[in-house]
């Protein structure tokens, strides 16, 4: 893995709920050995993890029920590269402003997020974003019941914002979070960006 920048890497996609199949397909298209993760022991076999979109409160409950929450928190603290999209961003946020009663996050990203910040699924929308970290060309972004980053802590960096200044992509060390869903478009640059982090961490 360390010998070649393009060597295959094994990465996981949290497969408790949500659109994990789409992420698995994208990662495999990019040459990664991508596997669904549902059990704590599967975390030891991967070099990075994607937390997909879905329903963050359900994902939280299932991660605790399956005994994954604490091992995930340890993996994040130990520096495993993790990319969270939509609900995955909520799971990675240190603070969830409008969490339902009893909802927890894994944490790791020094941000506060608001769930369903744009309204219901009927209020989903698409737009083009400038994201220099992944390339010069604008990225077409799809927002579906998306969260928003309301507060950016000192440790985190904004990667993309809407025209009104609201932050929709962040990074902190080996952690990435986006409000939108790159896995449903043909633009794979965020997944490529994540895989570079996985390869760098493996070295």
Assess whether 183 carries a catalytic annotation.
yes
Report CA torsion sign: 116, 121, 125, 131.
positive
Assess whether 181 carries a catalytic annotation.
yes
Overall average pLDDT of the 126-137 stretch = 95
Q: What's the confidence (pLDDT) of residue 34?
A: 97
Spatial distance between the Cα atoms of 171 and 178, rounded to a whole number of angstroms: 9
Q: Write down the pTM of the prediction.
A: 0.93
Q: Where are the domains positioned within the chain?
A: 10-202
103 or 4, higher pLDDT: 103
Percent of the chain with pLDDT over 70: 94
pLDDT digits (tens, 9 = 90+) for 72-131: 999 999 999 999 999 999 999 999 998 899 999 999 999 999 987 776 655 689 999 999
Catalytic site residue from 23, 171, 181, 191: 181
Catalytic site residue from 23, 86, 171, 191: 86
Query: Domain 10-202 adopts which CATH fold?
Result: Rossmann fold (3.40.50)
Average pLDDT, the chain: 93
Q: Which of 102, 83, 99, 107 is nearest to 20 (CA)?
A: 83
Assess whether 150 carries a catalytic annotation.
no
Terminus-to-terminus CA distance in the chain, angstroms?
8
Q: What's the confidence (pLDDT) of residue 3?
A: 42
Q: What's the confidence (pLDDT) of residue 1?
A: 37
Q: What's the confidence (pLDDT) of residue 124?
A: 83
Percent of the chain with pLDDT over 90: 87
Whether residue 5 is predicted with pLDDT greater than 70 in this model: the reply is no
Catalytic site residue from 23, 171, 183, 191: 183
What does each C-alpha distance from 110 to 91, 117, 158, 169, 176 come to in angstroms? 12, 18, 11, 13, 11
């Amino acid at each position: 893995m360390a010998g070649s920048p393009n060597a295959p890497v094994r990465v996981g996609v949290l497969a408790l709920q949500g659109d994990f199949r789409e992420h698995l397909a994208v990662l495999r298209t990019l040459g990664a050995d991508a596997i669904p993760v549902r059990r704590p022991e599967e975390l030891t076999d991967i070099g990075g993890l994607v937390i997909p979109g879905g329903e963050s409160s359900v994902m939280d409950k299932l991660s605790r029920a399956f005994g994954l929450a604490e091992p995930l928190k340890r993996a994040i603290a130990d520096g495993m590269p993790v990319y969270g999209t939509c609900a995955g961003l909520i799971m990675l946020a240190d603070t969830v402003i409008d969490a339902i009663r009893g909802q927890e996050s894994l944490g790791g990203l020094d941000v506060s997020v608001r769930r369903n910040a744009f309204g219901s699924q009927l209020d989903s929308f698409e737009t083009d974003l400038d994201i220099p970290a992944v390339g010069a060309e604008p990225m077409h972004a799809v927002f579906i019941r998306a969260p928003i980053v309301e507060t950016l802590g000192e440790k985190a960096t904004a990667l993309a914002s809407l025209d009104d200044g609201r932050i929709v992509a962040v990074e902190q060390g080996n952690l990435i979070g986006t409000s939108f869903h790159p896995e449903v478009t043909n633009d794979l640059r965020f997944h490529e960006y994540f895989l570079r982090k996985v390869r760098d961490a493996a070295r």
